[in-house]
Amino acid sequence: MSSQSTENLQASFKNGDLRALTRAISLAENKEASVLALLAGVFDKVGKARVLGITGPPGAGKSSLANLFVRFLREKKKKVAVLAVDPVSPFTGGALLGDRIRLADHFNDEGVFIRSLSTRGKLGGLSLATREAVHLCDAFGFDYVLIETVGVGQSEVDIRKIADLAVVVLVPDWGDGVQALKAGILEIGEHFIVNKSDREGADRVVNELRNMLQISGRPADAVSSCSTHDVPSVEKVFSSLENQLEHDKAAILKKREASCKEMVGELLSERVLEETRNWVQKNVANPKNPYAWLTDFLKANPLGSLFK
Ligand SMILES: Nc1nc2c(ncn2[C@@H]2O[C@H](COP(=O)(O)OP(=O)(O)OP(=O)(O)O)[C@@H](O)[C@H]2O)c(=O)[nH]1
Ligand SMILES: [Mg+2]
């Protein structure tokens, strides 16, 4: 991307043009270096949004919950961006926003931005691209960014690092799972929602999670339960999430600082890796001497040139 078009993109982004946000997120997703200049230019606007990560096993009800969270936030006139990372169910299937509130309602709502991010086989996965997308939504002026990721443990996106509050959604029959998996879940979540409480066994899972948290010296009130079929129960859960965000403000600031610090190294290595791979594909006909290629590569690509 030429520096002229980066400047144009930045200008439209700052003007609040949603197409510029969409374009910028695509650049992040495709790992185009030009998004870095854009992010650097708008980063002074980053920091106002609250970032909620919603993760958990497939079908736990993450999208149904996100759907209701969006509704509650819109009632308070808050602007919300929803990022679905490698979604299992396509948006267009209506899964993200459930059956009751139609996706189309939110599509017509300027205060809601919905976007999926997919790896598309790119090197390094989606962790950085997701963080960049969150920064972009934040800088654009959204009050909340909800990130939905599938997976428990094996997910490549470290939601705890990316979100201010990482919420793990579980279901009542989760209690039947393997013990090791249960321990792993504590590492991911900062709040646990046992969804589908209309089914049997929710209380048992809530108690089990509370015990596990207590044993590891963490507050047991970071566990709640609800059913998306019972909207007030979700409202209650959401307000406890908001309280936790408020209560953890200082820790969240520290976490964001640490995350930004870590990003510098990650951005650098991702860029170098991406360029090295491209260069090797173009320039190495006979793969025999990796040491010599490295020297050749660095001669042809001084570090600074990789970011242009
Ligand atoms: N009984 C019951 N079903 C629910 C509840 N919440 C969601 N569901 C249903 O569970 C199914 C999966 O819900 P989703 O919200 O798509 O779950 P998800 O975690 O986003 O799923 P993936 O994105 O595919 O991983 C849907 O059929 C929902 O209608 C609930 O509280 N109770
Ligand atoms: Mg979903």
Q: pLDDT of 81-120, one tens digit each?
A: 999 887 655 544 344 444 334 444 566 678 999 888 875 5
Q: Which of 228, 229, 231, 233 to probe ligand 1 with, by most ligand atoms within 8 A of CB?
A: 228
pLDDT in tens, 109-159: 789 998 888 755 555 566 889 999 999 999 999 999 999 987 655 555 688
Look at 48-57, 122-131, 242-251, 256-265 and tell me which has the smallest mean pLDDT.
Answer: 122-131
pLDDT at 200: 93
Q: Tokens 């209560």 correspond to what residue? A: 247
DSSP reduced 3-state for 259? helix
pLDDT in tens, 182-239: 677 888 899 999 999 999 999 999 999 999 899 989 988 899 999 999 999 999 999 9
With 80 as the cut, is the pLDDT of residue 4 above it? no
With 90 as the cut, is the pLDDT of residue 282 above it? no
Distance 61 CA to ligand 1 centre (A): 3
pLDDT at 122: 53
Distance 62 CA to ligand 2 centre (A): 5
Distance 114 CA to ligand 2 centre (A): 12
Pairing of strands 80-85, 144-150: parallel
Intra-chain end-to-end CA distance of the chain, in Å: 9
Quick check: CB of 89 below 6 Å from ligand 1?
A: yes
Residue 145's φ and ψ, nearest 5 degrees, are: -125, 120
For residue 58, the ligand closest to its alpha carbon is 1
Taking the C-alpha atoms of residue 152 and residue 28, their distance in angstroms, rounded to an integer, is: 24
